[in-house]
Amino acid sequence: MGGGKGGFDGRMFIFTAPSGAGKTTIVKHLLDNYSRLGFSVSATTRSRREHEKHGVDYYFISLTEFKERVASGDFAEWEEVYTDQCYGTLRSEIERLWSLGKHVVFDIDVKGAKNIKRIYGDKCMSVFVRPPSVHTLVERLINRQTESEESLHKRIEKVKAEMAEENSFDIILVNDRLEIAFLEARHIVDTFLEGIPQHGS
């Protein structure tokens, strides 16, 4: 499975949560504060939104190419979240970050997170970001006002199913107050990387 080039002992941090729990904000905070972490860019078949950049937010690829790459075994994990809307983690993305001497950070949904943990085992620290309550989360989703009623209903059902999976992960991080969640996330990173030499040192 390797851990990158030159004997670098590459590790992984998986942050997962129901939509709206704040995992993306926590991941961004960690990436801003740790130069030795690198963000795993997922591949997707969904259309690129106006503000998004290929290779930064996602690798945007066609459904045909996605399916071909699944068949070739290029993905460490993938799933069809909605009809013809697939997301996945390319093995080459993990190797790319390890070759740069960076530990990989994932911001992925619950099913993908479980798959990565199953494949990479002890090289991973998996963190479930839990909102204070389902009610808080539903309020956040409603306040975004980006969903149709049907889409919102689907998301809320998915949230409830994902909340039931929290004990499948190494650590539960409660995101009640963001500043405290940031401190706890940094403690998780520091503890897991303790004793692992930095690349080139």
Check which CATH number belongs to the domain holding 82 and give it: 3.40.50.300
**Tokens 């960690």 belong to which residue?**
30
Collapsing DSSP to helix, strand or coil, 191 comes out as helix
- What are the pLDDT digits (tens) for 108-157? 989 999 999 999 999 999 999 998 888 887 887 788 777 788 888 887 88
Q: Is residue 35 part of a domain?
A: yes
> CB of 92 within 8 A of CB of 61?
no
As given in the structure block, the two tokens for residue 116 are: 């990565």
Q: Is residue 163 part of a domain?
A: yes
**Tokens 């520091």 belong to which residue?**
190
- What are the pLDDT digits (tens) for 18-45? 888 899 999 999 999 999 999 999 999 9
Q: Is residue 117 part of a domain?
A: yes
Nearest to 7 by CA among 124, 101, 119: 101
Q: Is residue 1 part of a domain?
A: no
Amino acid at 68: E
Q: Could you tell me which residues are beta bridge partners of residue 174?
A: 130
* pLDDT at 10 exceeding the cut of 60: yes
Q: Could you tell me which residues are beta bridge partners of residue 197?
A: none
For residue 45, the Cα-to-chain-centroid distance in whole angstroms is 17
Q: Is residue 143 part of a domain?
A: yes
Q: pTM of the entire structure? A: 0.87
Give the residue numbers spanning the domain of 107: 12-193
